[in-house]
Structure 1
Amino acid sequence: MNAFTAIDPGAAVAATPTPAVQWAMPGALPADLAAQWDALALDAAEPNVFAQRWFVEASAPLASRDVRLLAVRQAGRLIGLLPLANASRYGRLPLPHDENWLHHHAFLGGPLLRAGHEHAAWAAILAALDADPHATGLLHLTGLVEHGPVHRALIQAAARPCDTVYRIERALLQSDLAPEAYYEATVRKKKRKEIARLQSRLAEQGAVAIRRLDDADDLDSWIDAFLALEASGWKGRAGSALACTPQTAAFFRAALHGARAAGKLELLRLDLDGRAIAILVNFLSPPGSYSFKTAFDEAYARYSPGVLIQLANFDMLDRDEIAWMDSCAAQDHPMIDSLWGQRRAIVRVTLPLAGVRSRAIFHAVRTLERLAAARKRPAPEPSA
């Protein structure tokens, strides 16, 4: 699988060398590919921490399917990398297809594409899948930023239908305002008064402090505190907390250690008398950032510790190197939507691979999807 496409070494060097494709497995990377993957993340047209090496390597052991990495190099330099997997079902249809692979806790699915090489990278990726004997007719891409550099380049390079089949909007923090000014401009006055009241009531319970993980702090003790907080609440009772299985706890620990080693980690905690009652995990990838996970002690739920720790997170607006933060939240999330005023559209797209059969499958599937969407739409109001 770690084989490059054949290139004639005696051929004349073109002004723009033809990209070469390499297949690899996350757990068995050639040393040069690992180093170039890290370098690509620093020069990506669109940052995506969930496609960076430290996150993919932490999450790949939990994959229920074989994950392949499709890497594209040009003139020896990595210009694109996309984790892929085969799927046996397309929605409710028993239709095998290829899709970008995302771990359950990954909230963005765009590949890493080198700035200035987006079109060439996508063209090489699609050509490789068109020729891949393991490919199964359709390519399904989840978690693309709508009209972002990755999405735009895909549409331009595809030379085939590239349909948006699902779309959500989630909260985004982005503003030129200072934190306090943003808070006042975005959060309605009545809610700000209520939050101030909650802050005062919590302060009556003991010493309140916001802490940020620094180089001297023991990361594992912070991770332990987060896992314990999350497991003590509704996620623990539902069996969905990270600590509920050794595998997901190990993933979380590996991801945070990997992020710290890569300089991508920020942890905030809200302490009461020195004990954490809320912890927020952020991943940083300038010019972007991601609010990855939050946990809080439900014994203090009446003080809204999840809201209070987000107030400290507004300090992100003061950082010159960070232009925005993705909430990674569900659409219409009541808490974060009330605090962050901007929205980011995330889409899922489907396109056919090469061949008449693939085109026929694509058009049949899209017809079924349009019919299903039409049935869900409310009937128009009768005219007066």
Structure 2
Amino acid sequence: MAEPLINTHIERLDEERISKCGWLKLFSSQAEPRFYHHPDWILAADENLLQCPVELACVHQGDQLKLMLPLQARAQRHRFHAPRHDHLTLGDVLIHPRMSAIESNSAIQSALSLAGTAQWDWQICNVPERSALLGMLAEQNLDNTTVSQTHAHWEQRPARQSAWFDLQEGLPPASGKLRRNLKRLRHKLQEAGQLRMQWVRQPDELPEAYSRFLHLEASGWKGAQGESTAIAADPALTNFYRRLLAPRFEGLQPVIILLWLDEECIAAQFGLQTGQCLSLLKIAYSEQHSQYSPGSLLLQDTAEQASKLGLSTLSLVSSPSWAERWHPHTESVWHLTRYANNPGGLALRTLDRLKQTARARVRRAA
């Protein structure tokens, strides 16, 4: 029986096209769907953070979406990238789990060919190690050193780490010393008042909880800086996170978690749940109570509640230095660049390598 024909095309990023293109079905087919795979994540960024419109490069086999790749043009018309912003903390390409590495690579080539023959490169930032895209590159031997594969050259650069807890292995923190310290700090706070956690998921309760979170984050060191980096100081960021509280498609559950001391909120988390994973995008705490580590106390409570709800993973998204004493699992996060096999792509790749070499020499000399 003949295989269904491959159909590759560009879709506009809007709710109607998302509903029709099969994105949600492809999302739900993932063994471990994450917030950055979900259409509302890209929609929220497109509506509030990104200056250039996002398009969807889709590869269908018959009537089934096999690969979906968000695409933006840069100011230079020969260069393209996936959506990127400082607050787009992780990124990926959605690939059907049953596709082989060879099929995935062919589908990516087909999707990116939609950008035209004048394309020099395509970049995607903050791709976690678990990504099917990185798995495809490793299996096809297209990592840092290898450059020959049909129509393109791939390179990857380390970006940072991403930390998470496997709640099926036990509740964090693993360190007995840290658990004892948290128990002591919790007892001291309870002597000062009633300590309680509030887990907010209901749509009509999320706006007020979000206001609490914004106020708490802005009251700390982020709000005290000369040029505030707090979310509340930037209308675009405020609207981006607010937009995530009202997803238009199923599969993404916003959660705001608050820690109260009597009537005062002393710690807060902004999270997104997909499948069995809760990802904590932002954490805030009261500087006035910092000697009691309210952020750590809330993280401990959140892990316990997530486990009770049957979740298997609690992700910190990034890997902050304070998390080291919690001994989480970590994975590498990568920046990927695909250089087209044409004069522009080859010249750009050479130039980028020269820049990387120069930066490395400067770092060694410093």
Match in the other structure for 1:48: 34
Please state how far the C-alpha of 1:242 moved relative to its aligned partner: 1.8
**Could you tell me how far apart the structure 1 residues matched to 2:118 and 2:290 are?**
49
Please state how far the C-alpha of 1:313 moved relative to its aligned partner: 2.3
- Any conservation in 2 of the 1:46–1:150 contact (CA below 8 Å)? no
Please state how far the C-alpha of 1:319 moved relative to its aligned partner: 6.0
- Correspondence for 1:172 among 164, 172, 183: 164
Change (3 A) 1:52 1:195: same
Letter in 1 for 2:97: A
**Could you tell me how far apart the structure 1 residues matched to 2:153 and 2:263 are?**
56
- Correspondence for 1:101 among 83, 91, 95: 83
- Any conservation in 2 of the 1:138–1:358 contact (CA below 8 Å)? yes
Change (3 A) 1:216 1:139: closer
Correspondence 1:25 to 2:12: yes
The one-character-per-residue Cα deviations of 1:302-352 (angstroms, maximum 9, x if unpaired) are 2111111111122267368644333122x4x23222224311111112221
**Could you tell me how far apart the structure 2 residues matched to 1:77 and 1:260 are?**
19
Aligned residues: 353
Change (3 A) 1:323 1:154: farther
Match in the other structure for 2:43: 57
TM-score by length of 2: 0.85
**Could you tell me how far apart the structure 1 residues matched to 2:315 and 2:129 are?**
13
- Any conservation in 1 of the 2:166–2:314 contact (CA below 8 Å)? yes
The one-character-per-residue Cα deviations of 1:228-281 (angstroms, maximum 9, x if unpaired) are 111222222332222223332222111022189645233321111143221112
- Any conservation in 1 of the 2:35–2:274 contact (CA below 8 Å)? yes
Change (3 A) 1:75 1:177: same
- Correspondence for 2:281 among 280, 286, 292: 292
**Aligned 1:102-181 pairs, distance under 5 A:** 102-117=84-99, 119=101, 120-130=103-113, 132-133=115-116, 136-146=119-129, 148-156=131-139, 159=149, 160-174=152-166, 176-179=168-171
Correspondence 1:72 to 2:64: no
Match in the other structure for 2:190: 203
**Could you tell me how far apart the structure 2 residues matched to 1:216 and 1:168 are?**
34
The one-character-per-residue Cα deviations of 1:167-188 (angstroms, maximum 9, x if unpaired) are 3223221254332xx43xx225
**Could you tell me how far apart the structure 2 residues matched to 1:117 and 1:319 are?**
35
Please state how far the C-alpha of 1:109 moved relative to its aligned partner: 0.8
Change (3 A) 1:374 1:16: farther
Cα-Cα RMSD: 2.9
- Correspondence for 1:187 among 175, 178, 191: 175
Q: Secondary structure at the match of 2:108?
A: helix
Instruction: Using the aligned pairs only, state the percent identity.
Output: 21
Q: Secondary structure at the match of 2:116?
A: coil
The one-character-per-residue Cα deviations of 1:28-57 (angstroms, maximum 9, x if unpaired) are 6426436x2222211125523123111111
- Correspondence for 2:223 among 220, 236, 244: 236
**Could you tell me how far apart the structure 2 residues matched to 1:269 and 1:260 are?**
25
**Aligned 1:249-260 pairs, distance under 5 A:** 249-258=238-247
Match in the other structure for 1:278: 267
